[in-house]
Structure 1
């Protein structure tokens, strides 16, 4: 391996430069993977208000009588309310005509859970009891919804229900003050409010922090001619999912294929995956249909949503979605509108008709709008417009998805796993370093320095190239530490034998490295091949192990043979240490 030997001082400078670069990447460059938490303590919370009850009742044409009734939150766990109901002006139905089951469901959707619920049509009143904990969580999520933070993990201090930690995605400086104002307006008086910013330069997997882990199975869609799941279908599905999940504002989602027909989706910091699952599974298939010429009551699909370039929700003059078509779609849409003047074009979303406007003129510019269904629930129409625009921007799924695995990882468990893994790695590295110095003296010390260099290079690769570090990945990292030391053991044992035969220090070093090279190279290559196989054919957790082991094996070959040799040559050539015993004799 003399081809690796040239100018020792220059090689030393190169090693130092690489070390400085790695130190910068690992310790000093700006943090990329930021996470935020809101630490909030309320003095008093309005768990339930007449305004909120009215918001629910207006969908049924009713409102509360503010002069009667009572809301009691003196219980530590529940809020009890008895309210009297009147019809909204010009609403012809009475309270007795309202479906009590539908009304109870509406209260459950708003407050999270209704502990008890009863109506008294004779006195036009309803009595309900809700849980404070859930009601507060739902209030917080509604307040955070406009900032795409409604899926954040919310935890309460066991000793104080009103002391809350919200782990969430990135919050801009301007939004921090806005969120506080919304909390004070909609929830209650705040005693303490703090935004904590945390971050890691290395992207951590879910097993090292909190979040939701989903495994999705792709199912064939014979209606559109997809009978077999191909790699292209998987790639297209991943692209659509990535766009959809990023629309939620989820922090650093990890989406990767697994096997022949599955996709793994990791959603860090998301502990309430209901909204994410809904947006992931929805087909989002948009169709423009014209009336069939043979059957006036039938409809024929003439264009689909894949021709939409952009879509935005708008609430001026009623909730609607304004869309822009691709050049190809604009040309096609102009032809469709030209032959359907004074006729309706129906717009279907996932098989349901959402509007059927009558064409008044040819639309040549590829611009149009989809008006959401009417009805008294304006807020619902606005939410549907926002949702539809989001789906249209992300695109339709090529095939249906089935969730076959859904796991939650709490922040406490993730932090505990990370802490234990770090302690194990530090202890393992320290024991190996002490062993090498004890057994091989100066060469062992040089190997330890090379080992630190190795660790810096691995961490720099994870930092700079965005590799995800998982618990199995840490195991692979620690195992590759052993691989690096194993190579040095082979070399140093050979060095010891050459010194025993009476060779000079420099001659013994040269022979030891040359003769051990073949064995060191072969052992690293076989390990690398096994790691690559695990990465390409293993499950998501095995992939993390395989990636770290492969990367660690490649780097350890360089550090064990090249970096260690540079350091030993530097000391031996300059006769900084000349004792043969210190070289292992």
Structure 2
């Protein structure tokens, strides 16, 4: 490679680095430990996800048996993992088993009792494991959609263990709002109100018919202030929803022209719109309860057939409440409830202290390295220091170009790579010294020194690079930050220590004979 081409390549790389890095404050995102924010560990209740699938299976099994004209005394959830079916005639046992196992391949017969009239079905272990994993993976996607709508820059959302999710929200200004947004399950369902049970009967403790009706709290608000005044009022609704939020296509905040209060306007996809239209057509003058996370928000009377798939959720919301509700509905419901297992808030002042400490330590370390190299290797040390500055510039440029997040471990990774870049120069310079002591010319000593040190430098950096890749693959946020800066720094150090310094030495010796090298 010609000397001219070498300098063209170096200038191009340097120009790109400067372009990528300016202005630095707008190009590199700071991590949670540097700018403050929230660190949350969520635990996903995967049992609830399985229970929801069992509930759906129970409802559908009843319909299947009825369509097959197989009589049964009951179909009910035995526990989270099992469904029991009571038969009117033991002779139908095999037909029932075949019907259930055909339509629900994740269920298999695990027991039989009561004179062959009660069949117990259980979830297959492989399907249970898959459902648990899917619940966590789907929760991560839903949380990511919600947080993106919330407007947090560079959030970290990743799986931890079997059923935990780590969420880091750097630079967050409203942690309470974010926590409410993240933890809301947001299961939206529509139920017909059961008019057969009166409020007096509810107060008297009348027993509801199993599998037909369920008692839910009604969110009562003050019509003047909009504050929630009670969730103790009960309303009886049909247990099976007539429509779910899975058909929801959009949700946005609107303001009522009558009372200037915000509400959430929702729109269903074509399938949901058709279902909603059929519901309103077949249930005129009946009340339809809008239920979110097990609480009734409103139960308007169906006055006319509603086509177009549009509805509204009212509840005397504040604008912030309505906006958060629209966000969670639009992002979708969590497949299972989540609870906060750990919640840490890092203040901005602590982040500023971390930045100052990290920057101070980096500057001191960098100055000490430069001084040592300059004093110990003299003019050759100056060449190494030029390469060292370019190395640091390249690391910051790559981080800025890919909008990577810089953390304290990331700063540690930068300092480590600078040290390794110095180590590469030390190997080269010591080899050159050995060749000079053997009486070789400066030109030959440099050529042989670089040649002999090359394999050791590449081996050392490649093994470190492999370790960095493993850390990135299996580590958490801070460890990933360390791995990224370490990887970028290792590649940059090989370029600067081997290519840049060699080019500078070649320029010194171009068309001249140097008899003594300051090294």
- Normalised by the length of structure 2, the TM-score is 0.70
Q: 1:381 to 1:477 in 2, by over 3 A?
A: closer
Q: 2:282 matched to 1:282?
A: no
Change (3 A) 1:291 1:411: closer
- Could you tell me whether the CA contact under 8 Å between 1:347 and 1:354 is conserved in 2? yes
- Contact 2:140–2:157 (8 Å) recurs in 1: yes
Change (3 A) 1:411 1:511: same
2-structure distance, mates of 1:321, 1:408: 31
The answer to whether the Cα contact below 8 Å between 2:442 and 2:515 also exists between their aligned partners in 1 is no
Which residue is 2:496 aligned to? 559
The Cα of 1:247 is off from its aligned counterpart by: 4.3
Answer yes or no: is 1:433 the counterpart of 2:433. Answer: no
Residue 477 of structure 1: CA displacement? 1.0
Contact 2:288 2:299 in 1 (8 A): yes
Instruction: Output the CA distance in 1 between the equivalents of 2:517 and 2:320.
Output: 78
Q: Which runs of 5+ in 1 are unaligned?
A: 1-5, 32-198
1:203 aligns with: 29
Q: Considering Cα pairs closer than 8 Å and 6+ residues apart, tell me whether 1 or 2 has the greater RCO.
A: 2
1:348 and 2:291 equivalent? Answer: yes
Deviates more, 1:345-354 or 1:242-251: 242-251
- Cα drift, residue 502 of structure 1: 2.7
Q: In 2, Cα distance between the equivalents of 1:421 and 1:513?
A: 34
| CA–CA separation in structure 2 for the residues paired with 1:461 and 1:289 | 54
CA distance in structure 2 between the aligned counterparts of 1:552 and 1:24, rounded to whole angstroms: 19
3-state SS of paired residue (1:311): strand
How much does 1:282 deviate? Answer: 1.0
Q: 1:423 to 1:282 in 2, by over 3 A?
A: same
2:506 to 560, 569, 572: 569
**Contact 1:264/1:540 (CA < 8 Å) preserved in 2?**
no
Please report how far the alpha carbon of residue 360 of structure 1 lies from its aligned counterpart in structure 2 after TM superposition: 4.1
Is 1:536 the counterpart of 2:438? The answer is no
Once residues 494 and 281 of structure 2 are traced to their aligned partners in structure 1, the CA distance between those partners, rounded to angstroms, is 69
Residues 147-202 of structure 1: per-residue CA shift (max 9 Å, x gap): xxxxxxxxxxxxxxxxxxxxxxxxxxxxxxxxxxxxxxxxxxxxxxxxxxxx5431
Secondary structure of the corresponding residue to residue 502 of structure 1: coil
Q: Which residue of 2 aligns with 1:212?
A: 38
Indicate conservation of the 8 Å contact 1:210/1:271, yes or no: no
Q: Confirm whether residue 14 of structure 1 aligns to residue 9 of structure 2.
A: yes
Partner residue, 2:273: 330
Match of 1:307 among 230, 240, 247: 247
Provide, for residues 196-252 of structure 1, a one-character-per-residue CA deviation record: whole Å limited to 9, x for no partner: xxx543111121123222222333122234955766544533333233334445455
Shift of the 345–474 alpha-carbon distance from structure 1 to 2, 3 Å rule, reads same
| Alpha-carbon distance in 2 for matches of 1:398, 1:279 | 15
Larger mean CA deviation between 443-452 and 473-482 belongs to 443-452
Contact 2:42 2:338 in 1 (8 A): yes
Where 2:389 maps in the other structure, the secondary structure is helix
- Aligned twin of 1:223: 51
How many angstroms apart in 2 are the aligned matches of 1:263 and 1:515? Answer: 49
1:469 is displaced (CA, Å) by 0.8
Aligned with 1:239 (options 141, 144, 157): 141
Q: Which residue among 341, 354, 360 is the counterpart of 1:404?
A: 341
The CA deviation at 1:581 is 3.0
- Residue 580 of structure 1 pairs with residue 516 of structure 2: yes
Structure-2 change in CA distance of 1:415 and 1:574 (3 Å): farther
Residue 206 of structure 2 corresponds to none
The answer on whether the counterparts of 2:442 and 2:517 sit within 8 Å (CA) in structure 1 is no
Deviations 1:358-398, CA, capped at 9 Å, x for gaps: 4344444222223x24xxxx5x4665544432321222122
With over 3 angstroms needed to count, the CA separation of the structure-2 counterparts of 1:343 and 1:554, relative to structure 1, is: same
The separation in 2 between residues aligned to 1:310 and 1:453, in whole angstroms, is: 50
Q: How big is the shift at 1:457?
A: 1.0
| Contact 1:210-1:414 within 8 A present in 2 as well | yes
Distance across 1 between alignment mates of 2:320 and 2:370: 60
CA–CA separation in structure 1 for the residues paired with 2:171 and 2:348? 8
Equivalent in 160, 163, 169 of residue 267 of structure 1: 169
Does the aligned pair in 2 maintain the 1:291–1:300 contact within 8 Å? Answer: no
Match of 2:364, SS state, is helix
- Per-residue deviation at 1:574? 4.4
Cα contact 1:212–1:271 (8 A) shared by 2: no
The equivalent residue for 1:366 is 309
Residues 491-500 or 455-464, more deviating: 491-500
> In the TM superposition, what whole-angstrom CA distance separates every residue of 1:459-516 from its partner, at most 9, and x where no partner exists?
0111121211111111111011111111121122112222222333333222222222
| Alignment CA distance shift 1:343-1:433 (3 Å) | same
Residues 1:464 and 1:537: Cα distance change in structure 2 (over 3 Å)? same
- Seen in structure 2, the aligned counterparts of structure 1 residues 328 and 502 have a Cα distance that, compared at 3 Å, is farther
How far the C-alpha of 1:274 sits from its partner, in A, is 2.3
Once residues 425 and 456 of structure 1 are traced to their aligned partners in structure 2, the CA distance between those partners, rounded to angstroms, is 14
